[in-house]
Amino acid sequence: MKTLLLALSQWGVKGTTGIIHNPEVMKYFKETGHSWVKDDETAWCAAFINWCLIKSGFNQTGSLAARSFLTYGNGVLKPALGDIVVLWRISPTSPYGHVGLYITEDKENVYILGGNQTNAVNCRAFPKTQVITYRRIPNQ
């Protein structure tokens, strides 16, 4: 729950377009070991979740790839509030993905809190058909 509360505290942080980059987004990269990233146009969903994890006292994946969370923690079939959700992008077999924290679901969608969702920290619905896995943060 610590990770979810920290993520909520970042609600509304947005990336910017152009030559000026939001220092709040840039801290997600820097504080997770990716200070080489120089712009907030770089995909930042995994940097955001990793930042939330380390700031709340947990290990991170150390990767900017959303799919690096495929083996993080413990896999669960029935997600709980604050569990990690890994989604595929483009196709189920592509290397691309998205990662966020589970909030709730309905018949067709899973609602996740994450970064870089329409270039901001917010909660959005994603089709359940895009979910690869749900992961429980160890010792949370």
pLDDT at residue 17, as a whole number = 85
Whole-model pTM? 0.96
Please report the sign of the dihedral spanned by the C-alpha atoms of residue 75, residue 81, residue 82, residue 85: positive
Residue 18 has pLDDT above 90, yes or no: no
Beta bridge partners of 36: none
pLDDT at residue 69, as a whole number = 98
Residue 140 has pLDDT above 80, yes or no: no
Summarised one tens digit per residue, pLDDT across range 65-102 is: 999 999 999 999 999 999 999 999 999 999 999 999 99
Residues 2-136, CATH architecture: Alpha-Beta Complex (3.90)
How far separated are the first and last CA of the chain, in Å rounded?
A: 6
Domain boundaries, the chain: 2-136
Residues with Cβ within 8 Å of residue 31, at least 6 apart in sequence: 51, 54, 55
